[in-house]
């Protein structure tokens, strides 16, 4: 990539990642002056409503970015909340553990059914239902589960919840699949 082209690494789900191969882009900053890393407080930190995130940028980009960024693009309340959230890493560890266990619930279910899926380093699972995913979406919606269809034919994306929520969603999906 030419040096005058920016590479932006969008790491919204960075904190959820547990695999050893997850790239350490931070270590690349010294090597590549055209690299920007973006992270957010909207996901694992649960502060989406406060609209707060951050970017790690090369020194040379500080000034140009400061010129083009919108004025008052964050608030003191959001910054205080983000600072407090950063200090509570025990909460983050709890969320990562719960998420990893939740993914395992889905892997077990999908393995047992022989349904293909992508191993996830985020707080969602993306898998092949081998059926019309839009129909499944509607049936799950009627049971109170809002999932995501339309990303790939027959595939659903489902966000990891609590142990009980995952179990309920898996059971509901299983009963819909068995009805066909
Ligand atoms: C959530 C998310 C973001 C960041 O969202 P903000 O709420 O605007 O901070 C960025 N990229 C991806 C892929 C996301 O899912």
Atom of ligand 1 nearest to the CA of 43: 1
- Shared domain for 94 and 39, answered yes or no, is no
- Shared domain for 101 and 161, answered yes or no, is yes
Q: Whole-number mean pLDDT of the chain?
A: 96
- Where among 33, 62, 87 does a domain terminate? 87
Q: Confidence class of residue 180 from pLDDT cuts 50, 70 and 90? A: low
Q: What is the pLDDT of residue 87?
A: 97
- Where among 64, 87, 110 does a domain terminate? 87
- Ligand 1 pocket, 53 CB below 6 A? yes
In degrees rounded to 5, what are phi and psi of residue 22? -60, 125
- Give me the percent of the chain exceeding a pLDDT of 70: 99
pLDDT tens, position by position, 100-122: 999 999 999 999 999 999 999 99
- Where among 87, 107, 131 does a domain terminate? 87
- Give domain status of residue 1, yes or no: no
Which residue among 42, 52, 73 has the greatest number of ligand 1 atoms within 8 angstroms of its CB, and so is best to mutate? 42
pLDDT tens, position by position, 116-165: 999 999 999 999 999 999 999 999 999 999 999 999 999 999 999 999 99
- Ligand 1 pocket, 43 CB below 6 A? yes
- Shared domain for 94 and 19, answered yes or no, is no
- Shared domain for 120 and 161, answered yes or no, is yes
**Nearest CA among 40, 41, 18 for reference residue 107:** 18
- Give domain status of residue 60, yes or no: yes
- Shared domain for 97 and 78, answered yes or no, is no
Q: What's the structural domain count of the chain?
A: 2
State the burial class of residue 109 (Cβ atoms within 10 Å of its Cβ: 0-12, 13-18, 19+). Answer: buried
| CATH at residue 65 | 3.40.640.10
Q: Domain containing 42: what range?
A: 7-87
- Ligand 1 pocket, 102 CB below 6 A? no
State the burial class of residue 33 (Cβ atoms within 10 Å of its Cβ: 0-12, 13-18, 19+). Answer: exposed
Q: Confidence class of residue 179 from pLDDT cuts 50, 70 and 90? A: confident
- Give domain status of residue 53, yes or no: yes
Distance CA 6, CA 158 (A): 32
> Closest residue (by CA) to atom 12 of ligand 1?
12
> Closest residue (by CA) to atom 9 of ligand 1?
40
- Shared domain for 70 and 13, answered yes or no, is yes
- Shared domain for 122 and 156, answered yes or no, is yes
pTM: 0.89
- Shared domain for 83 and 97, answered yes or no, is no
């Amino acid at each position: 990539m030419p040096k005058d082209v920016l590479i932006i690494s969008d790491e919204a789900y960075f904190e959820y990642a547990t695999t050893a191969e997850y790239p350490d882009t931070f270590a690349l900053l010294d090597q590549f002056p055209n690299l920007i890393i973006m992270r957010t407080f909207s996901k694992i930190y649960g502060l989406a409503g406060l609209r707060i995130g951050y970017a790690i940028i090369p020194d040379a980009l500080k000034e140009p970015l400061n010129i083009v960024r919108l004025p008052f693009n964050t608030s003191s309340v959001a910054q205080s909340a983000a600072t407090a959230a950063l200090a509570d890493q025990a909460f983050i560890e709890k969320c990562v553990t719960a998420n990893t266990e939740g993914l395992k619930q889905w892997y077990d279910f999908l393995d047992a059914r022989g349904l293909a899926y992508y191993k996830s380093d985020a707080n969602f699972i993306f898998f092949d239902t081998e059926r019309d995913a839009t129909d499944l979406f509607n049936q799950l919606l009627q049971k109170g589960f809002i999932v995501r269809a339309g990303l790939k034919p027959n595939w659903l994306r489902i966000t990891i919840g609590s142990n009980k929520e995952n179990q309920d969603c898996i059971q509901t999906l299983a009963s819909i699949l068995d009805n066909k």
